[in-house]
C-alpha cells in the first residue's frame, strides 16, 4: 500500500463509525475533566479552571473574558513583596487561578502549534499523587516504594520496545534534553573514561556524531559537556524526508576509525520536531558493528535515539494490520505500518529518550531515558567518597552514583504510570490513530488547494509541514519547491525564495487564529547540499496533530478560511 495513499481521495481518509465510537469512549473516559470520573476536578480551583478552558476561546479573547482580566494582569506584573501576614486556607488565591487559567490552553481543539498537547485525566491524577507523596527517586531511602514504581514503568517500556526487561534499566528525569544528555554521557564515559576526572580536553582524537535533522538539544548538550563543537562534532546529512543519510554516515564513521578517532556517541532521531523524520536504527547498528570489527575498535560507539516525540509509535508494535481491529482508515493504516517497520528497530539502540509529556499525554515534566544494558550505568558511577552522607550499604541499590541529578521528583513517574495503566495499549492506539487520521485528513485537504506543497510528505507522523505559494506567481507548487531546494548563489534565486517566503509569512500573520493555531517554522525544510556540503533553510508553516480534542471541524474551518 502506497505511503501517499492519503492523497488519493476522501474515501481513504474517512473515519469509520466503529473507530469514532471507540475514540469517543476514550475521550470521555480519559480526556473529559469529568469530576464524576475523576473527583480531583471537583476542587473549586480546578473546577473554575476547567470551566474557563471548556469555553475554547481564541487566544485574543481569553484575557478580556476573565473577570477584570486586564487589571489582574497589570497587578500581576507589579513588583510586590511577599505578604507580611498569613492568608488562611479556603480564602481564594485569585492571582494563582488567573495565572493558571490564562496559561497556554493546550486543551483548545484548535491548538496544534507544536509537539505539546493536553494531559490525560489519569495522568493529572497520577502526577498529583506523586506531588502529594513527594518521594525523591535519587535514593531508595528517600523514595521508598516509589522506586519500585519506577522500575515497573521501565520494565513496561522495555517490553513495548523490545528490550529485555531483566537487563534494561531507565531513569526518570527532567525533560528530553536531559535524556539526550544521558545518551551522550553514556558514550563518553564508556569510550573516554578519564574524562570523568580530567575533562574532554584530555582527549584530542574523538568525534561526536549526530544528525543535521536532530533537535537543537543535540548541540546545546554538547556545549554543556564542554565538547569542542566546531572541531569535534560531525553532523551527518539528511535526506528529503529529514532522516539520516546512511551513506554519509558510513563515509564519516569509516574516516573516523581510519584516523583512529574515538567515536563515543552516535545520536539518532526517531520523530523530528517539524516533519517527523524517523532515522533507521538497525542499519546504523550493523554499520557500527561491522566497522568496529574491521578497525578493531575496542569500545563501540554508544547509539542513542532521541525518540522524545516518536516513541509512542511502539504501542503499534504487534498490531494486526491485516485484521485492523480498530478500523483505522486505509490512509492512516498505511502510514502507521510504515512507521512501525522503523520503530521495530528501536530495540537495537543502546539507549533512547521517552517524553511522556509529549505524545504520552502526561503533565510536564515526565521524561525517561531507557538503557538497554543496565551495566552501562557502571561507567557513569562517581566516586563513592562523594556520597559520604548516604549509607554505603544502600548506595549500590539505586542509580544514586550514576545520575546527573541530586534530586529526582516523582510526579512525572506517577503521571506516566497512571496514563500507561489506565489507557493501556488499546487506549493509546485509539487516541494516536485519531491524531494521525486528523493529520492525514489535513494533508489531503491542503493538497486540494492547488497552491500548497507538503513537506516530507512520506512522513506520516503528527507533524505536517507545508508551504503556501501565491497562485498568481506559482502554477505548480511541486516545481517551485524543487526550484527552492536547488540551492544557488544566484541573486535571482535568493530574491525569488525571499519573495515566496514573505508572501507565505504575510498570509500566516494576517490570517490570525482561525480553525487551527498553526506555527511558523524558519526551517521547515532544507535545500539540497552544494559541492561543499552547505545547505540553506527554507521557511514554512506546520501543524502538529497530537491534540485529542482537535477534530475535522477545526481542519475544515482552517481550509475554508485559506480558500476564502
Residues 6+ apart with CB under 8 A from 12: 5, 6, 329, 330, 331
DSSP H helices in 54-117: 59-65, 69-76, 94-101
The x, y and z cell numbers of residue 263, run together, are 567515536
Query: What is the model's pLDDT at position 10?
Result: 81
CA distance 344 to 289: 19
Backbone angles phi, psi at 298, to 5 degrees: -70, -35
Give the separation between CA 12 and CA 446, rounded to whole angstroms. 15
CB atoms within 10 A of CB 34: 15
3 state DSSP class of 534: coil
Paired strand residues for 206? 262
Nearest to 546 by CA among 427, 425, 413, 437: 437
Alpha-carbon distance values, 70 to 66, 96, 102, 157 (Å): 8, 15, 11, 46
Cα distance between residue 89 and residue 274, in whole Å: 45
Q: What is the pTM of this model?
A: 0.96
> Where are any strands of DSSP class E within 79-207?
169-173
Residue 76 clears pLDDT 70, i.e. is over it: yes
Q: What share of the chain is helix, strand, coil (3-state, %, to 5)?
A: 50, 15, 40
- Cell numbers describing residue 12: 481513504
Q: Please state, in angstroms and rounded to a whole number, the distance separating the CA atoms of residues 180 and 525.
A: 23
Cell 514503568 sits on residue: 153
Contacts of 394 (CB under 8 A, 6+ apart): 139, 140, 141
pLDDT band at 3 (very low <50, low <70, confident <90, very high): low
Q: Can you spell out the DSSP letters for 483-530?
A: HHHS----HHHHHHHHHHHHHHHHHHHHH-SBSBB-EEEEEEEEPPP-
pLDDT tens digit string along 211-268?
A: 999 999 999 999 999 999 999 999 999 998 999 999 999 999 999 999 999 999 999 9
Helix axes 411-447, 552-563, angle to 10 degrees: 40
Strand order in the sheet with 519-526: 452-455, 463-468, 537-544, 519-526
The Cα–Cα gap between 157 and 420 comes to 9
Residue 91 pLDDT: 74
What percentage of residues in the chain have a pLDDT greater than 90?
Answer: 87
Q: Going edge to edge, which strands form the sheet with 351-355?
A: 169-173, 367-371, 351-355, 302-306, 265-269, 208-211, 233-236
Residue 394 has pLDDT above 80, yes or no: no
Q: Which of 139-148, 178-187, 359-368, 381-390 has the lowest mean pLDDT?
A: 381-390
Region at 463 (left for phi over 0; alpha for psi -120 to 50; beta for the rest)? beta
Query: Do residues 127 and 362 lie in contact, with contact meaning Cβ atoms separated by under 8 Å?
Result: yes
Tell me the C-alpha distance between 490 and 488, whole Å. Answer: 5
Provide the Cα torsion 18, 24, 27, 33; round to 10°.
Answer: -160
Model confidence at 1, pLDDT cuts 50, 70, 90, reads very low
Query: Residue 392 has what pLDDT?
Result: 67
What would the pLDDT profile of 457-476 be if each residue is shown by its tens digit?
889 899 999 999 999 999 99
Q: What confidence score (pLDDT) does residue 183 get?
A: 98
Which pLDDT does position 391 carry in this prediction? 65
Count of CB atoms within 10 A of residue 252's CB? 19
- Residue 284 C-alpha cell reads as 546504523
Q: What is the pLDDT of residue 396?
A: 55
The answer to whether 306 and 268 are in contact (CB under 8 A) is: yes
Kindly state the DSSP code that residue 182 receives in the 8-state scheme.
Answer: H
Place of cell 493501556: 424
pLDDT of residue 393: 63
Is 70 exceeded by the pLDDT of residue 395?
no
Mean pLDDT throughout 326-340? 96
Residue 460 phi/psi, 5° resolution? -110, 55
Burial of residue 155 (CB within 10 Å: 0-12, 13-18, 19+) is middle
Rg, C-alpha atoms of the chain: 25
8 A C-beta contact, residue 538 and residue 484 = yes
Question: What CA–CA distance (Å, rounded) separates 147 from 88?
Answer: 35
pLDDT number for residue 7:
79
Contact 22, 337 (CB under 8 A): no
What's the rounded Cα separation, in Å, for the pair 539 and 500? 10
Average pLDDT, integer, range 366-370: 98
- Comparing 200-209, 280-289, 378-387, 482-491, which segment has the lowest mean pLDDT? 378-387
Closest CA to 67 of 87, 52, 83: 52
**558/477 Cα distance (integer angstroms):** 20
More confident residue, 531 or 247: 247
The neighbour count for residue 328, using CB atoms within 10 Å, is 27
What is the rounded average pLDDT of the residues 361-388?
A: 91
Average pLDDT over residues 24-52: 97
pLDDT of residue 264: 98
Amino acid at each position: 500500500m502506497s505511503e501517499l495513499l492519503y492523497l488519493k481521495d476522501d474515501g481513504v481518509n474517512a473515519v469509520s463509525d466503529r473507530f469514532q465510537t471507540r475514540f469517543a469512549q476514550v475521550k470521555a473516559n480519559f480526556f473529559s475533566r469529568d469530576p464524576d470520573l475523576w473527583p480531583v476536578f471537583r476542587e473549586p480551583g480546578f473546577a473554575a479552571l476547567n470551566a474557563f478552558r471548556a469555553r475554547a476561546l481564541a487566544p485574543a479573547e481569553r484575557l478580556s473574558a476573565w473577570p477584570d482580566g486586564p487589571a489582574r494582569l497589570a497587578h500581576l506584573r507589579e513588583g510586590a513583596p511577599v505578604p507580611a501576614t498569613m492568608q488562611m486556607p479556603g480564602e481564594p488565591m485569585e492571582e494563582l487561578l488567573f495565572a493558571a487559567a490564562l496559561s497556554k490552553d493546550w486543551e483548545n481543539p484548535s491548538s496544534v502549534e507544536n509537539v505539546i498537547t493536553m494531559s490525560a485525566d489519569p495522568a493529572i491524577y497520577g502526577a498529583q499523587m506523586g506531588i502529594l507523596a513527594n518521594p525523591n527517586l535519587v535514593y531508595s531511602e528517600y523514595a521508598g516504594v516509589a522506586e519500585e514504581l519506577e522500575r515497573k514503568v521501565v520494565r513496561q517500556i522495555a517490553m513495548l520496545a523490545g528490550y529485555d526487561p531483566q537487563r534494561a534499566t531507565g531513569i526518570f528525569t527532567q525533560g528530553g534534553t536531559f535524556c539526550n544528555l544521558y545518551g551522550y554521557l553514556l558514550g563518553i564515559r564508556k569510550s573516554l573514561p578519564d574524562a570523568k576526572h580530567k575533562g574532554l580536553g584530555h582527549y584530542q582524537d574523538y568525534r561526536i556524531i549526530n544528525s543535521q535533522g536532530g533537535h537543537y538539544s543535540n548541540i546545546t548538550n554538547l556545549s554543556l559537556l564542554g565538547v569542542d563543537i566546531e572541531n569535534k562534532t560531525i553532523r551527518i546529512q539528511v535526506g528529503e524526508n529529514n532522516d539520516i543519510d546512511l551513506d554519509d554516515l558510513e563515509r564519516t564513521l569509516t574516516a573516523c576509525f581510519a584516523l583512529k578517532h574515538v567515536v563515543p556517541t552516535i545520536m539518532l532521531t526517531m520523530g523530528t520536531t517539524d516533519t517527523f523524520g524517523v532515522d533507521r536504527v538497525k542499519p546504523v547498528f550493523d554499520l557500527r558493528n561491522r566497522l568496529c570489527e574491521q578497525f578493531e575498535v575496542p569500545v563501540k560507539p554508544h547509539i542513542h535515539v532521541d525518540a522524545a516525540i516518536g516513541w509512542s509509535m511502539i504501542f503499534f508494535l504487534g498490531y494486526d494490520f491485516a485484521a485492523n481491529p480498530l478500523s483505522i482508515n486505509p490512509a492512516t493504516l498505511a502510514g502507521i505500518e510504515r512507521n512501525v517497520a522503523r520503530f521495530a528497530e528501536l530495540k537495537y539502540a543502546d539507549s533512547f529518550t521517552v517524553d511522556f509529556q509529549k505524545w504520552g499525554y502526561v503533565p510536564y515534566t515526565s521524561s525517561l531515558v531507557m538503557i538497554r544494558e543496565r551495566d552501562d550505568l557502571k561507567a557513569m558511577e562517581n566516586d563513592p567518597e562523594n556520597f559520604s552522607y548516604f549509607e554505603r550499604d544502600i548506595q549500590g541499590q539505586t542509580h544514586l552514583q550514576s545520575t546527573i541529578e541530586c534530586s529526582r521528583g516523582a510526579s512525572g513517574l506517577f503521571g506516566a504510570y497512571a496514563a500507561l495503566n489506565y489507557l493501556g495499549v488499546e487506549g493509546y492506539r485509539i487516541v494516536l490513530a485519531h491524531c494521525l487520521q486528523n493529520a492525514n485528513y489535513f494533508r489531503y485537504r491542503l493538497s486540494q488547494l492547488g497552491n500548497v506543497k507538503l513537506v516530507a510528505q512520506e512522513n506520516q507522523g503528527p507533524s505536517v509541514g507545508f508551504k503556501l505559494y501565491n497562485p498568481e506567481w506559482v502554477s505548480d507548487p511541486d516545481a517551485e519547491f524543487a526550484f527552492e531546494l536547488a540551492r544557488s548563489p544566484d541573486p535571482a534565486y535568493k530574491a525569488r525564495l525571499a519573495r515566496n517566503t514573505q508572501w507565505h509569512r504575510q498570509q500566516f500573520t494576517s490570517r490570525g487564529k482561525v480553525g487551527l493555531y498553526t506555527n511558523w517554522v524558519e526551517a521547515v525544510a532544507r535545500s539540497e547540499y552544494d559541492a561543499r556540503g552547505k545547505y540553506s533553510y527554507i521557511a514554512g508553516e506546520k501543524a502538529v496533530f497530537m491534540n485529542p480534542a482537535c477534530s475535522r471541524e477545526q481542519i475544515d474551518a482552517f481550509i475554508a478560511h485559506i480558500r476564502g
